[in-house]
Amino acid sequence: MAKKIIATASLSGCFGCHMSFLDIDAKILDLIELVEFNKSPIDDIKKFTKQCDIGLIEGGCCNDENVHNLLDFRKNCKVLVSVGECAIMGGLPALRNMVPLQECLEEAYLNGPTVRDCNENKIIPNDPELPKILNKVYPCHEIVKIDYFLPGCPPTAELIWNALVTLATGAELKLPYESVRFD
């Protein structure tokens, strides 16, 4: 059987889900036998070089670059999986959805204790090189169709491993009851 091709991305996440993936420890050596990696921070492939079987998405969308990247993944992956709370429902970054974006920026750059008496020109970063921040943080399934969801903050290494093995072998993914949780 041909190896399944995997791609991964971290959008507006903390990279904890990728770290949890690494917590499969020595199984990573088995994984190399089972799958082939394409576009992923795990390797040097920065653009899709072929159609992938499985795309793992960590993080929601907080700026326009996240959205671009997610659309790119949908286009190039047969199966797309939201991995972890941020991808599934915005996670911690989505706490800012309850506050106007302008207030968040002002707190960080104008009003915080280490800036309020020394930012004489009232600078808030706005360079054209910086991506545009979205009004809200969006979960991935509000941007593109998502096929599967792996819960947890982060999902355990065991869950990520089982999911990959079942997807790579073509089986249906089953979620044990105790794995359906927020943290």
Partner 1 sequence: MGKKITIEPVTRVEGHGKVTININDKGEVEQSRLHIVEFRGFERFVQGRPYWEAPVLVQRLCGICPVSHHLASAKAIDVIVGAGTGTGLTPAGEKMRRLMHYGQIFQSHSLHFFHLAAPDLLFGYDSDPALRNVIGIAMANKELAVQAVLMRKFGQEIIKATAGKKIHGTGAIPGGINKNLSVAERDSFLKAADPNNADYMVKWAQGALDFFKGYYKKNKDFIDNFSYFPSNHMSLVRKDGALDLYHGVLRAVDADGRKVLHDVDYQDYLKYIREEVKSWSYMKFPYMMSMGKEKGWYRVGPLARLNTADFIPSPIAQKEFEEYKSLTGKVNNRCMHTHWARLIETIHAAEMIRDLLNDSDLQSDNLVTSGTRQARGVGVIEAPRGTLFHEYSVNNNDQITECNMIVSTTNNNEPMNRAVNFVAKAMMNGKKEITEGMMNAVEVAIRAYDPCLSCATHAYGQMPLEITLIDPNGMILDKKAK
Q: How far apart are CA 182 and CA 64, in angstroms?
A: 26
* Maximal C-alpha separation, the chain: 64
For position 15 contacting partner 1 by CB under 8 A, the verdict is yes
- The structure tokens 């990728």 sit at 18
Q: Which of 34, 42, 143, 175 binds partner 1 (CB under 8 A)?
A: 42
Q: Which amino acid is at 180?
A: V
Q: State the minimum distance, in angstroms, from the CB of residue 172 to partner 1.
A: 27
For the record, the structure tokens of 160 come out as 């990520």
Site string for partner 1, 67-86 (x = CB under 8 A): -xx--x--------------
Please say which residue, 95 or 180, places its beta carbon nearer to partner 1.
Answer: 95
Q: How far apart are CA 176 and CA 119, in angstroms?
A: 52
DSSP code at position 181: -
DSSP code at position 12: B
Name residues contacting partner 1, limited to 109-168 (CB under 8 A).
109, 112-115, 117-119, 123-127, 129-131, 133, 153-154, 157
Question: For partner 1, which stretch binds (CB under 8 A), given 75-83, 106-114, 142-150, 164-172?
Answer: 106-114
Question: For partner 1, which stretch binds (CB under 8 A), given 40-48, 74-82, 143-151, 163-171?
Answer: 40-48
- Rounded to a whole number of angstroms, the CA Rg of the chain reads 18
Q: How far apart are CA 19 and CA 11, in angstroms?
A: 14
- The CA-CA-CA angle for residues 25, 28, 31, to 5°, reads 145
Query: Contact residues for partner 1 (CB under 8 A)?
Result: 9-20, 22-23, 25-26, 28-29, 32, 37, 39, 41-47, 62-63, 65-66, 68-69, 72, 91-93, 95-96, 98-99, 101, 103-109, 112-115, 117-119, 123-127, 129-131, 133, 153-154, 157, 183
